[in-house]
A and B are shown apart, each in its own frame.
Chain A
Amino acid sequence: MSLARNSVGPALGQGTPGAWKKNISERAIALVLLLSTMLSILVTAGIIFVLLFEALKFFGEISFWEFISGTRWTPLFSSKHFGVLALVAGTTLTAVLAMVVALPLGLLSAIYLSEYAPDKVRKPVKPILEVLAGIPTVVYGYFALLFVTPILRQISGDISVFNALSASIVMGIMILPMVSSLSEDAMRSVPRTLREGAYALGSTKLEVSTLVVVPAALSGIVSAFILAVSRAIGETMIVTIAAGQNPNFTLNPFVPIETMTAYIVQVSMGDTPAGSIEFETIFAVALLLFAITLAMNLLSQYVVSRFREEYE
């Protein structure tokens, strides 16, 4: 491979006749930089290799069908069942509820910041909103368990100490800035002329926002939404702290559940010996988690590139 293909500047090692030392050091540097770049690709390969390698050991003993279709997950008990759907249900429940919070609030906030807010409001509000995304997730876990849950339990006595609802609400707040920031960027890149055309036809601001700007920015909004779902699926600490460690195959948000990520933490914190079937379960679960989030990230990129409305 030529190290200097397609780039500005002289080809490597040329232009200084006879200076072979310089020539060698230039090539060495290029090689070091190339190796570093290769490393980032190696990380992906490493993740896939590590997860597959350990998961295959697991699937050597437990059938893939039992794993992917069973609804009871009890690898740590004496009567072992390996139905991952119990964990998938917990993950789906929390992710969906989190999006119920994050999508409307995030989208409406984005519309406000992009269409309504004057500059002197937007400029300070946007970075403050993004602070929400920078707070460590363990902090949200604390907040969910010790602040939100007690309030929910006062509203309804049916709600357990550990429940999906509290974790989801707080997770929704955490991913809200992701939805609002990315959606706002998409809306602001909609050209002014489109808005002005609609105003000229007598539209109100509401009509311009919802019938012109949002549809024009839809690819960006949808991709932000998918990324947020992917983030919610991979989120670990909030659900570990506040949603419980009971892999119930249920969509009831008031009872304790367990997500895929929380299960990995549970096993990592315990004294399960490495190499045992119990320990290998976390790699099988992580492989599934990785596959789901990767698919969503790729889908999000596809939506942006395929459905983007191009304006001059």
Chain B
Amino acid sequence: MVVSSQTEFLRKRARRKWLGRAFHGLCLLSVVIALGMLAVLLVYLMVQGITRIDWSFLTSFASRHPEQAGIKAALFGSIYVVIIAGVTAFVLGVATALYLEEYSARSKFAKIAKINISNLAGVPSIVYGLLGLQIFVHSLQLGKSVLAGGFTLALLVLPIVIVAAMEAVRSVPPSLREGSYALGATRWQVIWHMVIPQAFPGILTGVILAVSRAIGETAPLIAMGALTFVPFTPDGPLSRFTVLPIQIFNWTSRPQPGFQEAAAAGIIVLLVVLLVMNAGAVILRNRFQNKWE
């Protein structure tokens, strides 16, 4: 009796241990598959597009001939739109975060505003495009312009900036504020001289994350009415425009292999820009942290 229940236990234990190892393998395999897909994606794009990238690709306009097509208009369009979006979202986002954290942290209004912001973050991006179309393009009569596109993307990424800025402001130690108040500073003096400088690295990281989201957005700008074929660079805030992701989309949907190659080259440029920005965010953050700690 004793012996048999012991062998039973050992048999079951061996099985449980075997199952455990199999599960460990399965979990590891999932991570490997995910990372593998990333690697395949990047390698495939490199192989498809790297030979197409040269100086004339960056400095030529779109063309009906795939071998002459370039991304000049799209590149300039993206830069203009993203600068407008970044600056607008930065100003509005920081102002909102300061109000919610420094002025009315525990009020009912702040609670509602915070729930609202987290819901805004979940609204599909194409819906923002329709909002931009009706408000900026039609009601405010900005036209399907760089400015309207920038504002549309600013609203889209605003929740990202607000959340990051709130986090950054909250992490400033209260003792700093109290020390300044004790010296007679007003609320805004405390915010301007103590809170904002301390929170700045966190805010900046949030803004860069928001801008890298904005730079890759296609759908809202299409819904807003950005062009797909543009043989000029924007000459002012009310100029019509296209952006890099829309140019890539346009080329991808054409049947000629030459355009698909151009699309891959455009994607490589887009990913390099994103990589540089994210690396910049990390470097900036480390630098500021060293300065203040």
Contacts and interface: CB of A to CB of B under 8 A. Distances in A.
Contacts of B253: 241
The 3 closest A-B pairs by CB, nearest first: A234-B124, A136-B216, A112-B27
A206 interface: yes
A236 B217 CA distance: 10
A160 interface: no
Contact of A236 (B91, B98, B125): B125
B225 interface: yes
Contacts of B129: 264, 268
B174 A8 contact: yes
A156 to B, nearest CB: 20
B245 A261 contact: no
Given A236-B219, A265-B219, A204 B112 contact: no
A64 interface: no
Contacts of A277: none
Given A7-B102, A143-B41, A264-B130, 12 more contacts: A36-B96, A50-B134, A50-B135, A116-B27, A129-B35, A134-B274, A173-B34, A236-B125, A237-B218, A268-B225, A289-B126, A294-B123
A289 to B, nearest CB: 6
A108 B187 contact: no
Secondary structure call for the A interface = helix
Interface string A1-18: 101111111101001100
A230 interface: yes
A177 B260 CA distance: 28
Interface residues of B, number: 95
B77 to A, nearest CB: 15
A33 B31 contact: no
Contact of A40 (B17, B117, B127, B174): B117
A46 to B, nearest CB: 6
A22 B186 contact: yes
A53 B20 CA distance: 57
Interface stretch (B59-67, B79-87, B199-207, B262-270): B262-270
B41 A135 contact: yes
Interface in A278-295: 282-283, 286, 289-290, 293-294
Contacts of B242: none
Contacts of A201: none
B168 to A, nearest CB: 16
Given A7-B106, A37-B113, A139-B45, A282 B130 contact: yes
A34 B130 contact: no
Chain A's interface size range is: 35 or more
A200 interface: no
A125 B31 contact: yes
A219 interface: no
A146 to B, nearest CB: 6
Contacts of A182: none
Nearest to A265: B222
Contact of B105 (A6, A25, A36, A296): A6
B164 interface: no
Contacts of A297: 118-119, 122
Interface of B: 16-17, 19-20, 23-24, 26-31, 33-35, 37-38, 40-41, 44-45, 48, 91-92, 95-96, 98-100, 102-107, 109, 112-113, 115-120, 122-131, 134-135, 138, 155, 158-159, 162, 174, 177-178, 181, 184, 186-188, 190, 212-213, 215-219, 222-225, 228, 245, 248-249, 252-253, 260, 263-264, 267, 270-271, 274, 278
A261 B30 contact: no
A294 B92 CA distance: 23
B119 A294 contact: yes
Nearest to A205: B20
A166 interface: no
Interface in A131-181: 131-132, 134-139, 141-143, 145-147, 173, 176-177, 180
Given A129-B35, A142-B248, A261 B124 contact: yes
Contact of B26 (A3, A108, A134, A230): A108
A251 interface: no
Contacts of A26: 186-188
A294 B38 contact: no
A92 interface: no
5 contacts: A6-B104, A47-B131, A108-B29, A129-B31, A234-B122
A113 interface: yes
B124 A233 contact: yes
B209 to A, nearest CB: 9
Contacts of A29: 188
A120 B102 CA distance: 38
A124 B80 CA distance: 34
A209 B113 CA distance: 37
Contacts of A135: 41, 216, 271, 274
Contacts of B118: 297, 301
A286 B127 contact: yes
A105 B124 contact: no
Contact of B16 (A30, A32, A207, A227): A207
A111 interface: yes
